[in-house]
Structure 1
Amino acid sequence: MGLKAENRRMVRKLAVVAAGMFVFGYALIPIYKHICELTGINILALGEKQVPGGSTAAANTQIDRSRTITVEFDANSRGPWQFKPQKASIQVHPGELATVMYEFENVQDRRMSAQAIPSYAPRQAAAHFNKLECFCFEQYTLEPGEKKQWPVAFVIDPKLSSDVTTITLSYTFFEVGAKTPQAPQAAAPAQRSGERG
């Protein structure tokens, strides 16, 4: 009997120690944050409080709000289908993320695979037009009568020459496996866009 009583007492002590360790583990995080706030050791522990010399919301310094660029959207299709942007144009600041949707419909009575090729006017804009998401990255297969909407998410590099005020993004949508279309002629739009800037 003495040994059983001693074992029970030991189990109770171990249970108290385990519970204490569990509570201490949970209490450690708030204690650490409080110590960091008092001492200023870890500036990240200040959370939503004002950091000396900083602001609560970090501003996107990449956006050049002193400039506005008009981006025009064009769609050409090499085949019997419908392809168009939802908006003809938008205005963006360099460095600002923008998204535009394009609509496509396979009006044929057969399945088709297609892909889009982009072109830019003026040509110098191509190096500064950064697409983060684009349907032109992949080929798509559409069933007869199927409709799709695809996004183009882009950012115009603030390093783009300040004399460019209008960019035309043009897509040519063609059927994969069919005869490859000629590249769109961008020389004439490039001159017009250059004159605007």
Structure 2
Amino acid sequence: MSGMRRLNLRTFGKLLLMVAVMFGFGYAMVPFYKAFCEFVGINQLGDKSSGIVARNTQVDESRLITVEFDANARGPLTFAPAQSSMQVHPGQMATIRYEVANQQPHSVRAQAIPSYVPAVAASYFKKIECFCFTQQTLQAGEAKEFPVVFVIDANLPKDVKTITLSYTFFDLGKTPPNAAADDGKDGGGNG
């Protein structure tokens, strides 16, 4: 038995040594990687002394696209963009805010549907964040501000210089009384 125990202890010691060596190697890789990158001249974006400035190379700074914003409401809502237009470079991330208010004495559910002019722009207008992705619930008299974060694809045809993004906010009716109370947080369902 003592021979087997000695063998187990020796194996355990070798495994501990191996773990310590692997940890040390991983820890030492950071300065080795940094030294290698400095020597070869790569990956110096975070080094202010290198004079390299990080920028998004997918932004086409040779073009400016005017994006006009429009808002329509179907139902008891007021709905408007915070600004009527902006100019963006293709590939540049931009944000517009839309303001919506429920004019009713009860809560309502609503859904925004976008449309684009010219229609070809729809394929090149990429929304990263948008209130139009889901139904919205507005309490009685509540006003909200919703951002739309977007990028216009740099492959937008050269003849398109203006895009109109128009949203129509449709009132889907009163919020069911139990839906406002539960708000989907009853813990039941399929998880």
- Return the TM-score normalized by structure 1: 0.67
Matched, 1:71 2:67: yes
Equivalent residue for 2:31? 33
Q: How many residues align?
A: 157
Q: CA deviation at 1:30?
A: 7.1
Equivalent residues in 2 for 1:115-194, closer than 5 Å:
115-177=111-173
1:120 alignment partner, SS class: strand
Does 1:108 find its partner at 2:104? Answer: yes
How much has 1:45 moved relative to structure 2? 9.0
> Aligned partners of 2:76 and 2:96: how far apart in 1?
23
Report the CA distance shift for 1:153/1:47 in structure 2 as closer, same or farther (over 3 A). Answer: closer
Identity of aligned residues (%): 52
* Larger Rg, first or second structure (1 or 2): 1
Match of 1:48 in 2: 47
- CA shift in 2, pair 1:49/1:99, >3 Å: closer
**Deviation at residue 37 of structure 1 after TM alignment:** 2.2
Q: Please, what TM-score do these two structures have when normalized by structure 2?
A: 0.69
Partner Cα distance (2:108, 2:27) in 1: 58
Task: Tell me, in whole angstroms, the C-alpha distance in 1 between the residues paired with 2:33 and 2:69.
Answer: 56
RMSD of the alignment, in Å? Answer: 3.5
Deviation of the 1:44 alpha carbon = 5.5
Q: Find the counterpart in structure 1 of residue 179 from structure 2.
A: none
2:90 maps to 94
Gaps of at least 5 residues in structure 1 are 1-20, 179-197
Alpha carbons 2:65, 2:161 under 8 Å: kept: yes
